[in-house]
Structure 1
Amino acid sequence: MINRIVYSFERFEQVLLRGGTLTIITALLALSWHNSPWGASWLYLVENPLTVAFGKYSITKPIGFWVQQVLLALFYLALGLELKRVLRIGELQEKPVMLFAVAAALGSMAIPAALYLYLAPAAAQAGWSVVATADVAAILALLALASNSLPLSLRVFLSSTAIMQGIASLLLSVMLYTVIQNLLALSVATGVFGLLVVLRALRNRTMWLYLLLGLVMLVSFLLAGVQGAVAGVLLALVIPIHSRVIEEDFVTTTDTVMGQLHALRMMKRPEPGEEMEEDFQAAVHTLRMNCTKALSPLRRLQQRILPWAAYLAWPLFALAFVPFAYNSFVWRDLLGPVPLGVFMALVLGKPMGMLLFAWLASLTGIARVPATVHWGQLAGGTLLLGAGFMLSLFQAQQVFPATEQLTLVKISIYAASALSGLLGLFVLAVAGKTKDLPHAQV
């Protein structure tokens, strides 16, 4: 039984940590499978067509497409919900701390993108989105390897910064490089999002209605040629964050139910070993119903979809898109401008940009370093942001689809993620550890 309050970020962190571990195992197995004598079966699995029909309308795409465009929308929905919670009612709701995180995220996007654009040829300029993103699951996994006693504020700050980068790079790349294939479908998607905004303004909390309209928006975006992950981000924006039940009513009602159960126990005075199962289960059922009513729509939705996103969407994406053929590239080609630009931007550009922008923001006085965190830990944490891994790979799939360049970029991402992770862990170990404060003081 849980005997302490479990905050939302702690559950988010643990689920993504376990999901990230499963994803890494899946990625290694997929890489071995692809380069084994049975590699053709992997290709068949990824490229086998799957048809989804809605009445007389149907979409036939490879399985890899559905993983990339639909399951990843679920993952971005989970990320969007967590970012909204953190900024609105969570650990970064204080404006100075929020501005510090925003400045750090901007620097961690702008400097790597500028470095990549400087090194890459004109034909590959769209690859800036590969280095402008960050993988929150990889970062949380690396932080867990660093130490369990790292400040909660540092873990929240780094994960929120990574989510900001992932969402911002997605939206920017879609706006700049997407070619609309169906204006009518795009109009439908836009109209559905407008309807969702109206529902939110009317304080509607009917979750199935939000999800149904979100599904329609997702299908419309896919028909229009827009990445499905955009639908996940937009749906997260409109999910209500507050509960209809106020704290005082919940506490009073809970105390009343527990008091009634205690009174029944005192009245019946059961002998040692004798059970009051019916009374006990009735009280538990009542508390459960009250808890369901008291949970905000955002918290309820996040609890339900986060395991699916971490344990299904992410590993399946790794299974479909991590592998590459060992004999499909020449080693010297890794020194080409595009793979070298990706590597340098992730390893050097990320920490330089984040530290520079964060320092400038704190210097102006408009932003403040999170409590219990010192600059040595921030330096180690910023290095971890270079572990772009899966989200960088996701962007690479959009920019370099099925080309030899994609294999080189993949290897650069993996190499940069490994080196950034090792450097970050080393700096965090040297920087030392500080004792975390209670959650309320973060």
Structure 2
Amino acid sequence: MASPSTDTKIFGFLPQEAVPGALLVVTALMAMIVVNSPLAGLYHAILDTKVTIGPTEGGIEMKFSYWIKNGLMAIFFFFVGLELKRELLEGQLSNLTAAILPIISAAGGMAVPALIFLFFAAPAGFGHGWAIPAATDIAFALGVLSLLGNRVPPALKAFLLAVAVVDDLGAIVIVAFFYTETLHLSYLVQAGVVMGVLIAMNRFKVRAIGLYVLVGVVLWVFMHQSGVSGTIAGVLVAACVPMRDRHDKSPLHEAEHDFRPWVLYGIMPVFAFANAGVDLAGAEKYLTHPVTLGAGLGLVLGKPIGIALSGYLAGKVMRAKLPGTFPQMVGVACVAGIGFTMSLFIGALAFKDPALATPTRLGVYAGSVISAILGLLILSRVLPTAEKVAPSTEGDETAPFIKPEPVFEARDRAD
């Protein structure tokens, strides 16, 4: 599968890991500029255009913005699913004992923000968006952390990655069970049959990723028609991609490597551009809106309280080795408060009323930006200075969302 160029010279002053996050910021700013310019009408007209894919009779018709949310994001979730499976089988979460601490931390990091959101929003009738601040944008968070260079101990990077991966898994479960409105059992049955085909392909160790994608499209159609978010189909297809084939090669690693640039430099920026635009005219009246406060404070306060406190206490109770000091864990937990892409996605699922788009986006923006700044400020104070950090001789294997696996770098050179 050909991949778009990942040449990042335009952001040459940034570490490579930070480029996807920087690209998202630029894309979001572009959306803000367009929405607050004479092009706003064209922007909304394009997103509201009805697009039909399939036969004239029986095809699926949705607004262009919905195709981005339900179609392109299914590919994003396919990529996330590949990462989840790799982490569960051979990564940070493959050892249950070692995984307990980040699992508990991630659970706290989802529960506390949700409670904070409910505190502000539920009395006003907006409690359905409780999961908005529970999400972490893994690419953005790891990119921000990379700005500190080798000052960040590998254990802290691994801790953030593991927490973010569990967080992604939680977000997938939340979308599947809490943001599904109406179920059509006949389509679910057909989706089950297609899943059977995928499972059989896995059992026979079929390595052709194109076949999984093709069958996955059929699964997406049935899932979408059933009322379940079609994005879940992406995760289910990823779960069926074999880790190893009959020749002991890894179709899963290859798929993750090939899809990475498409997701980071294509799908995520497109989603951000389509969902990040906020009309600033009169936006000040939403600053104290319950959804704005719930989303923003959920990310800024809920994430560090939930992740750092639950992880620290769990480590003490289990007498497990912590990834860093408590202040360092607080700093990393603040970085995990960068919700952005995932929070915007859940917000779009939670609230169909266009009037709630502005407070949702304002809360996510404010919460993510403040979380990033707080995390960097705290970590810059509590981490050892660059002069005291010995140069690392190990490859950075804690950011699979950003860097290709070493095996593929070698393969590319051989080709």
Matched residue, 1:301: 255
CA RMSD of aligned residues (A): 2.4
The answer to whether structure 1 residue 338 and structure 2 residue 291 are counterparts is: yes
The separation in 2 between residues aligned to 1:397 and 1:105, in whole angstroms, is 23
For 1:310, which of 264, 272, 280 is the aligned residue?
264
Question: CA shift at 1:366, angstroms?
Answer: 7.4
The separation in 2 between residues aligned to 1:336 and 1:27, in whole angstroms, is 22
Gaps of 5+ in 2: 1-14, 399-415
Q: Structure 2 length as normaliser, TM-score?
A: 0.84
For 2:209, which of 200, 207, 210 is the aligned residue?
207
Once the two structures are superposed, residues 172-224 of structure 1 have per-residue CA deviations (whole angstroms, 9 ceiling, x without a partner) of: 24312312253322221222223323332343434333222211111111222
The separation in 1 between residues aligned to 2:91 and 2:111, in whole angstroms, is 26
Moved more, 133-142 or 163-172: 163-172
Matched residue, 1:400: 351
The separation in 1 between residues aligned to 2:320 and 2:244, in whole angstroms, is 26
Matched residue, 1:20: 21
For 1:232, which of 231, 234, 247 is the aligned residue?
234
Q: Structure 1 length as normaliser, TM-score?
A: 0.79
Same amino acid, percent of matched pairs: 31
Cα 1:360–1:244 shift into 2, 3 Å: farther
Question: CA shift at 1:142, angstroms?
Answer: 0.8
Report if the CA contact (8 A) 1:99-1:367 is conserved. Answer: no
Cα 1:441–1:397 shift into 2, 3 Å: closer
Matched residue, 2:402: none
The separation in 2 between residues aligned to 1:441 and 1:71, in whole angstroms, is 27
Task: Name the SS of the counterpart of 2:54 in structure 1.
Answer: strand
Cα 1:398–1:114 shift into 2, 3 Å: same
Question: CA shift at 1:364, angstroms?
Answer: 3.0
The separation in 2 between residues aligned to 1:16 and 1:55, in whole angstroms, is 44
Cα 1:404–1:55 shift into 2, 3 Å: closer
Report if the CA contact (8 A) 1:133-1:169 is conserved. Answer: yes
Question: CA shift at 1:150, angstroms?
Answer: 1.9
The separation in 2 between residues aligned to 1:67 and 1:332, in whole angstroms, is 29
The separation in 1 between residues aligned to 2:397 and 2:269, in whole angstroms, is 35
Report if the CA contact (8 A) 2:135-2:168 is conserved. Answer: yes
Matched residue, 1:420: 371
Report if the CA contact (8 A) 1:97-1:369 is conserved. Answer: no
Structure number with greater Rg is 1
Matched residue, 1:219: 221
Matched residue, 2:143: 141
The separation in 1 between residues aligned to 2:170 and 2:331, in whole angstroms, is 23
Aligned 1:151-170 pairs, distance under 5 A: 151-170=153-172
The separation in 2 between residues aligned to 1:441 and 1:59, in whole angstroms, is 41
The separation in 2 between residues aligned to 1:440 and 1:90, in whole angstroms, is 13
| AA matched with 1:400 | F
Question: CA shift at 1:426, angstroms?
Answer: 0.7
The separation in 2 between residues aligned to 1:203 and 1:389, in whole angstroms, is 36
| AA matched with 1:379 | V
The answer to whether structure 1 residue 79 and structure 2 residue 30 are counterparts is: no
Aligned length: 378
The separation in 2 between residues aligned to 1:412 and 1:440, in whole angstroms, is 33
Report if the CA contact (8 A) 1:71-1:309 is conserved. Answer: no
Report if the CA contact (8 A) 2:20-2:143 is conserved. Answer: no
The separation in 2 between residues aligned to 1:15 and 1:119, in whole angstroms, is 38
The answer to whether structure 1 residue 381 and structure 2 residue 332 are counterparts is: yes
Cα 1:95–1:187 shift into 2, 3 Å: same
Question: CA shift at 1:356, angstroms?
Answer: 2.1
Report if the CA contact (8 A) 1:91-1:156 is conserved. Answer: yes
The separation in 1 between residues aligned to 2:152 and 2:74, in whole angstroms, is 31
The separation in 2 between residues aligned to 1:300 and 1:173, in whole angstroms, is 27
The separation in 2 between residues aligned to 1:46 and 1:308, in whole angstroms, is 21
Report if the CA contact (8 A) 1:328-1:404 is conserved. Answer: no
Question: CA shift at 1:388, angstroms?
Answer: 0.7
Question: CA shift at 1:56, angstroms?
Answer: 5.1
Question: CA shift at 1:55, angstroms?
Answer: 8.1
Once the two structures are superposed, residues 76-113 of structure 1 have per-residue CA deviations (whole angstroms, 9 ceiling, x without a partner) of: 11122112212311244333321111111111001111
Moved more, 160-169 or 40-49: 160-169
Aligned 1:86-101 pairs, distance under 5 A: 86-101=87-102
Once the two structures are superposed, residues 351-400 of structure 1 have per-residue CA deviations (whole angstroms, 9 ceiling, x without a partner) of: 11111221232123275434xx4433222110011111111111111112
Once the two structures are superposed, residues 117-163 of structure 1 have per-residue CA deviations (whole angstroms, 9 ceiling, x without a partner) of: 22222521111110111111210121122324423332232133223
Question: CA shift at 1:303, angstroms?
Answer: 1.4
